[in-house]
Amino acid sequence: DQQVKQNSPSLSVQEGRISILNCDYTNSMFDYFLWYKKYPAEGPTFLISISSIKDKNEDGRFTVFLNKSAKHLSLHIVPSQPGDSAVYFCAAAIIQGAQKLVFGQGTRLTINP
């Protein structure tokens, strides 16, 4: 049973526009959420995170929104740049539990010039 789901396998956005990547989760015990970015032939790298006590966290061009009632989070990238083309993974954890992250399936983002 997939506890963290990214229902869009791919997304194509024009350079300069907003990219919105979505993620849903089913386990209400999750209290920490992260986004990782992955380029081909490399390991994932941390991008941005949010605690369940917040509904928004911003870091430069990246903003993560959390809607706990809907068990939904989204990553906004504004403006999108060609270097943003990568696979993005949503992940969730229970901070006081075992130190384990649960990942979504990933969304491949392509930024078109």
Partner 1 sequence: DAGITQSPRHKVTETGTPVTLRCHQTENHRYMYWYRQDPGHGLRLIHYSYGVKDTDKGEVSDGYSVSRSKTEDFLLTLESATSSQTSVYFCAISGFAGGFEKLFFGSGTQLSVL
- Using CB under 8 A, list all residues that contact partner 1: 4, 6, 9, 32, 34, 41-46, 49, 89, 91, 93, 95, 98-106
Please tell me whether residue 81 adopts helix, strand or coil conformation: coil
Sheet with 72-77, edge to edge strand ranges: 4-5, 19-25, 72-77, 62-67, 56-59
Closest approach of partner 1 to the CB of residue 62, in Å: 13
User: Do strands 10-14 and 107-112 pair parallel, antiparallel, or not at all (unpaired)?
Assistant: parallel
Closest approach of partner 1 to the CB of residue 34, in Å: 6
Are residues 98 and 111 in contact, defined by beta-carbon separation less than 8 angstroms? no
Closest approach of partner 1 to the CB of residue 8, in Å: 13
Closest approach of partner 1 to the CB of residue 38, in Å: 8
In whole angstroms, what is the distance from residue 15 CA to residue 79 CA?
A: 7
